[in-house]
A and B are shown apart, each in its own frame.
Chain A
Amino acid sequence: MTIIIYLIPISLLLGALALIGFVWTVRSGQYDDLEGERYRILEEDAGPSRMDDQENKSVK
């Protein structure tokens, strides 16, 4: 049973990583436009959206 000493922290760490990832997606505004994003993947050129992300950060 001593194995749980390692397994529990590892599982918590993995969960925490997923949580941090989710918080990042919220903070970077990825849920701001649920209508538009699904069409955006059909675009060939992702240029303007990427530039906007950088720009958004610098404005804040």
Chain B
Amino acid sequence: MNAPLPSDAFVRSVENGLSSLTCTLVGVQCGGCTNKIERRVSSMGGVISVRANATTKRLRFVWDPAVVKIDELINAVEELGYSAHPLATELEGRTKSNLLIPLAVAGFGTMNVMMFSLAVWAGIVTDMGPGTVQFMHWLSAGIAIPVCIYSGSVFFLPAIRSLRAGHMTIDTSISLAILTTLLASVYETFQGAEHAYFDAAVSLVFFLLIGRVLDQSIRKKSSAASDNLRAMTQGTAKRIGPGGQIEHVLADDLSIGDVIYALPGERIAADGNLLFDIALVDESILTGETLPRTVVQDQPVIAGSVVVGQAARVKVTAVGADGRIAEIADIVEAAEARKGRQQLLADKFASAYGPVVIGASLVGFLIWYFFLGASFSQAAMIAVAVMVVTCPCAAGLATPAVVVRAINQLLSRGVIVKNGEALERLAEIDQVVVDKTGTLTTSKLALENSVNQKTLQAASAIAANSQHPLARALGEVCPAKPMAGVVETIGAGLVAPNGAKLGSARFLKINGHGDSNAPELWYRDADGETTRLRFRDIIKPDAANFVASLQMEGLGVELLSGDKSEATRDVANRMGISSWFGEMGPEDKCQHVMSLEHSDKKVLMIGDGINDAPSLAAAYVSISPATAAHISQNASDIVLAGSSLLPVVGAIKMARNARKLINQNMLFATAYNLVALPLALAGGLTPLIAAILMSSSSILVMLNAFRLKMPQ
């Protein structure tokens, strides 16, 4: 069995002394996998229920803690070849509002109102008396009005909100069309007219809700996927209790003065001071520097840094809103606030379009009523026909149809787009800014210069005793058995029993190379012969291909890094990036991205570190890999499910294709309206024919959306 899992921090107790936990599942492809997991776990004693969800890739256990331990259950899942990560309660909630119910109500209303309408249309040409017609109209009103109010509130409420804020969105136009049709029909019914148009109003709500349901379903799916990724990076801590025992707690539950414990390879959960001796901390996720920093007793360490070498005990000095990460979170928030909300294409369309439609129907009414001698109700019906025929269905239905298809296809290729706005913005970018450590490079090092095999073997045998990244890199070039009796001075070097030394220039007392931060090791064998071992970043295998593809698409690529300028230049040269900046702090990076935006560039920022979070938030669109820090994934619009960057190129192409289709649909909608609007104004359309035209134009734009394909 593995080491105890940090899952107890996430367990919730439910009634009857039972416990529950929700996990994310990695490796689940389909319902077949979830069934296998359910069968295996439910066969274990003490398990009350286990339910896996193949759509959201989550698993919920309910068990009796007196009989079985959660770690055993998770291990059972892992033995099947999947991995399960506990999910914090804040991430697991089911969304409260479900648009399926308003859609069903609207569907019910549409069908039943249509039933009366058909009777009326048939009855008028045969033998239905005016009394029965009016009875039918009142029945229709009795269904259509409550249905439109209930289901239509999906559009009305945001419309009211945006009107208060002083702008028009797609919801404003939709609400107006629904309400005028409804009101005019009520007026007609009071007048005892032959036709009322309740059917048009309800079917409008029904059609538009289809678009919203599609939109919501994809949002749910992608937000579940991005929450699942974040669950893998979220912080737990090992707290040392009063009796010296180790407790697993959530990083958020720590308080100042707690003593926490981190094993080599684990993240330090909170800012604090080192309690004992000396430790090496890898701060690459915070600063972008590949090499670890040496910390001695009572010096501060920052939350998020990884302990290298030996285990560290840390006394917590800052939690929650006080830590360095919280400081960065504030910059992120400020950058997001400055950027403001982008306007959706559909809303841009609606805000230009809405006033035109309202104006046209008003003008139509006035002309017919005052100049062409129509009765009040005839003129009102013309105004309604204008309203209905020009209803912004193309924008309300076709845009989500394209966006949903695009996001869904990207999701299946491991690109999680958090919302449709991000996809629209991705299509517009003209500049890409990439972080170095962890994004283009693997945050590991490789030997740069050639050294003879015998020396390498000897040095590697000494290095095998150390956890320092440079020593580990040496072990990867030339694996060797650890030599016995080697003494390590943490952060400086190693001495073998035969007098050979391996370490920094300072440790070997070599003059002229005093910079201990350079990625190099010096080896002096027992005879005093000195060898220099230089290291450089390992670039991810497909990174060069990625940069080249971006440049081929005509996008400028820049490299920003918190690492040393030499290391940054080296990577930039190898990748063919001409514009690079090293030694950039989080604020500098953010500033740089903003200055690019000021010069009218639309920047795509790709980064993974905590130090990238502010610039991710400031950029026009941002992407982070699955290995990115929690805060960076939150600040990004798009998260990659893997560490490879190549899917980004596909995503950009996909976004551009989607944008092309959306524009086509808008163009079609405009052309359709240019024909339909004069017809309606001329009184050539009854609201019924207008409703049929509107529906068929919606279906056409929907079909166009299906042409979207993943680019090769």
Contacts and interface: CB of A to CB of B under 8 A. Distances in A.
A48 to B, nearest CB: 4
Contact of A58 (B15, B52, B60, B139): B15
Interface string B35-59: 1001100100000111111111000
A43 B35 contact: yes
A1 B139 CA distance: 16
Contacts of A59: 14-15, 20
A51 B48 contact: yes
B56 A22 contact: no
A34 to B, nearest CB: 6
B82 interface: no
Most B C-beta atoms less than 10 A away, residue of A11, A29, A43, A59: A59
B349 interface: no
A42 B49 CA distance: 19
Nearest to A41: B31
Given A15-B111, A33-B56, A26 B49 contact: no
Contacts of A52: 49-51, 60, 62
Contact of A40 (B31, B56, B143): B31
A43 B50 CA distance: 15
A16 interface: yes
Contacts of A33: 53-56
Given A18-B108, A26-B100, A59-B20, A36 B55 contact: yes
A37 B55 CA distance: 10
B50 A48 contact: yes
A38 B50 CA distance: 18
Contact of B49 (A31, A35, A36, A55): A55
Contacts of B157: none
A40 B35 contact: yes
B98 to A, nearest CB: 6
B345 interface: no
A16 B108 contact: yes
A15 B30 contact: no
A8 interface: yes
Nearest to B36: A39
Contacts of B32: 39
A12 B55 CA distance: 35
Contacts, number: 79
A36 B62 CA distance: 19
B105 interface: yes
B227 to A, nearest CB: 15
Most A C-beta atoms less than 10 A away, residue of B32, B100, B132: B100
Contacts of B118: none
Given A8-B139, A39-B35, A32 B53 contact: yes
Contacts of A43: 35, 39
B169 to A, nearest CB: 27
Most A C-beta atoms less than 10 A away, residue of B31, B105, B139: B31
B290 interface: no
Interface string A6-17: 001001100110
Contacts of B367: none
B55 A55 contact: no
Given A38-B31, A40-B35, A48-B50, A32 B108 contact: no
Contacts of B68: none
Interface size class on chain B is 35 or more
A19 B31 contact: no
- Please classify the interface of chain A as helix (H, G, I), strand (E, B), loop, or mixed, using the class held by over half of its residues: helix
A3 interface: no
A18 B107 CA distance: 11
B42 A35 contact: no
Contacts of A12: 112, 143
Contacts of A32: 53, 55-56, 94
Nearest to B115: A11
Contacts of B105: 19
B108 A15 contact: yes
Contact of A19 (B49, B104, B115, B132): B104
Contacts of B100: 26, 31
B101 interface: yes
A11 B112 CA distance: 9
Contacts of B56: 32-33
A48 B51 contact: yes
Contacts of B101: 23, 26
Contacts of A42: 35
B7 interface: no
Contact of B54 (A8, A39, A47): A39
Nearest to A59: B14
Given A16-B108, A19-B108, A36 B48 contact: no
B139 A35 contact: no
A25 to B, nearest CB: 9
Nearest to A48: B42
B30 A35 contact: yes
Contacts of B143: 12
A21 B111 CA distance: 16
B34 interface: yes
Given A39-B30, A39-B54, A47 B42 contact: yes
Given A47-B42, A52-B51, A36 B31 contact: yes
A43 B39 CA distance: 10
A8 B52 CA distance: 44
A52 B32 CA distance: 19
A8 B39 CA distance: 49
B276 to A, nearest CB: 45
Contact of A39 (B31, B42, B49, B112): B31
Given A26-B98, A31-B100, A48 B49 contact: yes
A5 to B, nearest CB: 10
A36 B30 CA distance: 7
B108 A51 contact: no
Contacts of A26: 98, 100-101, 104
Contacts of A40: 31, 35
Contacts of B55: 32-36
A42 B31 CA distance: 10
Given A31-B100, A39-B54, 10 more contacts: A18-B108, A23-B101, A23-B104, A35-B54, A36-B52, A39-B31, A48-B42, A48-B49, A51-B49, A59-B15
Identify the 9 closest CB pairs spanning chains A and B, nearest first.
Answer: A39-B31, A36-B54, A35-B54, A36-B31, A33-B53, A52-B49, A52-B51, A48-B42, A19-B108
15 contacts: A15-B112, A18-B108, A19-B108, A26-B101, A33-B55, A36-B30, A36-B54, A37-B31, A39-B30, A40-B35, A47-B42, A49-B38, A52-B49, A52-B50, A59-B20
